[in-house]
Homo-oligomer: A and B are copies of this chain.
Amino acid sequence: MLPQPYLLFLGDITEPAYAKTAFGLRDWAGERCIGEFACDGVRVSTGLAFLTPAQAHAAGAKSMVIGVANPGGRIPATWLPALLQALEAGLDLVGGMHARLSGIAALRDRAVELGRRLVDVRTPPPDIPVATGRKRSGRRLLTVGTDCALGKKYTALTLAREFRRRGIDADFRATGQTGILIAGQGVPMDAVVGDFAAGAAEHLSPDADPLHWDVIEGQGALCHPAYGGVSLALLHGSQPDVFVVCHEHGRETMLGYPDQRLCSIEETIELTLRLGRRTNPAIRCAGVSLNTGRLQPAEADAVLAAERERLGLPVADPMRGGPELLRLVAACLA
């Protein structure tokens, strides 16, 4: 479990797109975010109170989390004074970037001196066992994608929230760094060694009460030429009872792979059913989460209705909510 609540650190960025980790934490873990901090001159804000590390510590913060995802995932030297200031104020540091906090000698040495923790959430837990394939108790939902970066995490977070609103005991299970920061725990599936990947997914959603739901954040896509293996290991290890296919309307080729067309929603459903039956013969598809973020509202409504008609399944955009989201939730729980 990560040290929470958090103080969100925005570094010295001037481009809001690079603050998506901080925005995600504000939106999905707002009750565990005490405030924000940044280097002098930063022009991006989450809207939370600006607090020094000392003020945040006095207000109950346990760690400062790097809320920035810049290109290359580096920790620039210009951030070092602020990071040291946080350690000295009594806060642990939490990072989800490619660069590891513990890889910076000045931070490592000071953290040791002060008895603080440097937590790199991309580090998988040690001693993950090989998957057993054994059916576990409790219920599980997995969001699966037609590609990367189109709403699998957001869909899982929304469904877990909607489940809880209905009084259902449900946990969001994080599989990527931003999700892990939001949940406060999880397994970075992209950082696990191949032989243990399905075992890591089993570890992520352990035996539970028969009425409990784990809502598991998907990764990649079975058809993805680089990440399909991670997606399959996550599917096998998650043994979902239910899955929701996540797709972005209008996306035809894979992000960063202009020569690779996406597998269609129908192909993704069929392939997920087929491969998922290996560890859960009762697997079923509840519906589709369609990212219509690029469309105007009326246009989005028309697209959602047309897809619903075409597929014969609930098709909702979690960002837009509405009655169709309720139908998708009901179909998940049916």
Contact = CB atoms under 8 A, between A and B. Distances in A.
Given A190-B193, A193-B190, A260 B278 contact: yes
A147 to B, nearest CB: 12
A225 B195 contact: no
Given A133-B257, A192-B193, A260-B133, A198 B226 contact: yes
B198 A197 contact: no
A259 B132 CA distance: 10
A30 interface: no
Contacts of A194: 189-194, 197, 227, 229-230, 233
A282 to B, nearest CB: 15
Number of copies: 2
Given A228-B278, A260-B278, A195 B190 contact: yes
A106 interface: no
A133 B230 CA distance: 15
A222 B235 CA distance: 12
A226 B231 CA distance: 13
A226 B192 contact: no
B232 A236 contact: no
A275 interface: yes
Among the interface residues A226, A229, A259, which one has the most CB atoms of the partner chain B within 10 A?
A229
Nearest to A257: B133
A194 B189 CA distance: 7
Nearest to A134: B259
A159 interface: no
A192 B193 CA distance: 5
Interface in A192-222: 192-195, 197-199, 222
A225 B193 contact: no
A149 interface: no
Contact of A278 (B130, B225, B232): B225
A121 interface: no
A231 B190 CA distance: 16
B228 A199 contact: no
Interface in A234-279: 234, 236-237, 254, 257, 259-260, 271, 274-275, 278-279
Nearest to A219: B194
A275 B133 contact: no
A133 B225 contact: yes
Contacts of A192: 193-194
A227 to B, nearest CB: 7
B236 A131 contact: no
Contact of A223 (B130, B230, B278): B278
Contact of A195 (B130, B191, B257, B275): B191
Contacts of A189: 194
A274 B131 CA distance: 25
A195 B226 contact: yes
A232 to B, nearest CB: 5
For the complex of A and B, the 8 pairs showing the least CB-CB separation, nearest first, are A229-B233, A133-B225, A131-B226, A229-B229, A194-B230, A190-B195, A229-B232, A232-B232
19 contacts: A131-B226, A133-B254, A190-B194, A192-B194, A193-B194, A194-B194, A194-B227, A194-B230, A194-B233, A195-B226, A197-B229, A198-B226, A198-B227, A198-B228, A225-B237, A226-B236, A229-B233, A260-B278, A271-B274
